[in-house]
Amino acid sequence: MEIRNLKTFQVVAEELNMTRAAKKLKYTQPTITLQIQSLEKELNHTLLTRVGKKTMLTTAGKKLIGHVDKLFTLIDEMETDMEALHGPSGVLTIAASEYYCRQHLSPIVRAYTEMYPDVKISLLPLNSVHAIQSVRDQVADIAIIASECNEIDIRKNFLEEEQTFLVVSSEISKERSFHEIISQYAFISYNDDCSFSNIIDKHFKKSILKPHSTIMVGGSDEMIKRAVLNGTGYAILGENVIKNEIKDGSITILQQVSQPIITSAVNLKIRSEEPNIQTFHEFLQNAWPVRNNHTQSQDFNHKEIVTDLLLK
């Protein structure tokens, strides 16, 4: 059974008009007639009939068009998959927190798309819990997370280890002791579904002192930091978020938190060989701005290219 004849039948079934079908396929009408007749002979069924001036599908024709449509859908998918193997192309969706999108990913994405211009990047602002789920649901291709993820079907690539601190505004810390701050002010917390809440829970389980009250202000590091600076209370934040405020003296560290923030890039293991995912992971390993010493890249030439792109 020739694919060419099936394609001709599909177009004729769509148009139900030989003249329009011939024009669309760039065949002569006799050629189309011969192809349909050949298909009918092979299947031993009449596929088209005429009622007055109208061309209509027979029962066999209606059955066949369903199979033919499925066949060409599969062929299209096959061609798309094979074409994708030639190199990165299409849309790559990355789920990450607003902080990562704003502070890290913007220049990285710009540099990556300069290296791979056929790829379009879509950023999806989500906290780590929702970002992991978006990868599992295949809404996102890659997620940048700041949480534990030990699921067997998820591949995880380390990016950064960041220390965390219990902090308060320097205005509050000037006149109050640690115990007074804990007993008089509220703890400013993330939402319960935020991955950072795991670090908070573990810290206070180990600590003798407990917050006398808690205010949840969402899942944004910036919102938490602003609440601290406004004197609303104290909070646990990563060092990258507060490094400028520590430097200018507007925020004071009360305690170092034992559990750090581990930043990783994750994707479904079964999709790891896809060109978009593979190349972006490789790019991240060289381009991520803060790295732990034991994760230095071995591909120095590639790193030089990435650095040049990021500095443009």
Is residue 302 predicted with pLDDT exceeding 60? Answer: no
* pLDDT mean over 269-290: 90
**pLDDT for 15:** 93
The mean pLDDT value for 90-117 works out to 91
C-alpha to C-alpha distances, 3 to 9, 71, 102, nearest whole angstrom: 10, 10, 50
pLDDT of res. 300: 35
End-to-end CA distance of the chain: 56
pLDDT 10s digits, 66-86: 999 999 999 998 988 787 666
pLDDT value, residue 299: 39
From 131, 175, 177, select the one nearest 154 (Cα to Cα): 131
The pairs formed by 287-292 with CB atoms below 8 angstroms and a separation of 24 or more are 287/108, 287/111, 287/112, 288/104, 288/108, 288/159, 288/160, 288/263, 289/104, 290/160, 290/162, 290/240, 291/159, 291/160, 292/158, 292/160, 292/161
Question: Looking at residue 305, what is its pLDDT?
Answer: 43
Residue range 241-248: mean pLDDT, rounded:
93
Q: How many CA atoms lie within 13 A of 239 on its CB side?
A: 16
pLDDT band (50, 70, 90) for residue 265: very high
Segment 152-163, tens digit of pLDDT: 999 999 999 999
Does domain 163-260 fall under CATH 3.40.50.300? My reply is: no
Q: Please indicate, yes or no, whether the overall pTM of this predicted structure exceeds 0.95.
A: no
Helices assigned H by DSSP within the chain: 3-15, 18-25, 29-43, 59-84, 98-100, 106-115, 128-136, 170-175, 178-184, 197-206, 221-229, 239-248, 275-287, 300-311
DSSP-assigned letter for residue 149: -
Q: What is the mean pLDDT of residues 89-106?
A: 90
Q: How far apart are CA 29 and CA 32, in angstroms?
A: 5
Among residues of the chain, what percentage have pLDDT more than 90?
A: 58
CA atoms within 13 A on the CB side of 11: 20
Fold of the domain spanning 3-84: Arc Repressor Mutant, subunit A (1.10.10)
* pLDDT for residue 195: 65
Sort 212 into a burial class: Cβ within 10 Å, 0-12 / 13-18 / 19+. Answer: exposed
C-alpha–C-alpha distance, residues 58 and 241, integer Å: 69
Distance CA 291, CA 158 (A): 9
| pLDDT at residue 293, rounded to an integer | 39
pLDDT of 220 reads 78
Instruction: Give yes or no for a contact between 292 and 161, defined as CB atoms under 8 angstroms apart.
Output: yes
Q: Using one digit for the tens of pLDDT, what is the confidence trace for 128-151?
A: 889 999 999 999 999 999 888 888
The model's pLDDT over 183-238, given as tens digits with 9 standing for 90+, comes to 899 999 887 767 677 788 888 888 777 888 889 887 678 889 999 999 999 999 99
Q: What CATH number belongs to 90-160+263-311?
A: 3.40.190.10
Confidence tier at 9 by pLDDT (50, 70, 90):
very high
pLDDT at residue 242 greater than cutoff 90: yes
Delimit the domains of the chain by residue range.
3-84, 90-160+263-311, 163-260
* DSSP conformation class of 91: E
Look up residue 130 and give its two tokens. 């929702």
Of 94-103, 193-202, 292-301, least confident by mean pLDDT is 292-301
For the segment 17-44, the average pLDDT, to the nearest whole number, is: 92
Place of tokens 């599992």: 136
Instruction: Of 9, 1, 62, give the one whose Cα is nearest residue 31.
Output: 9
Token digits for 229?
A: 């600076």
pLDDT beyond 80 at 311: no
Q: What is the mean pLDDT of the chain?
A: 86
β-strand partners of 51:
54
Is 163-260 the same fold as 3-84? Answer: no
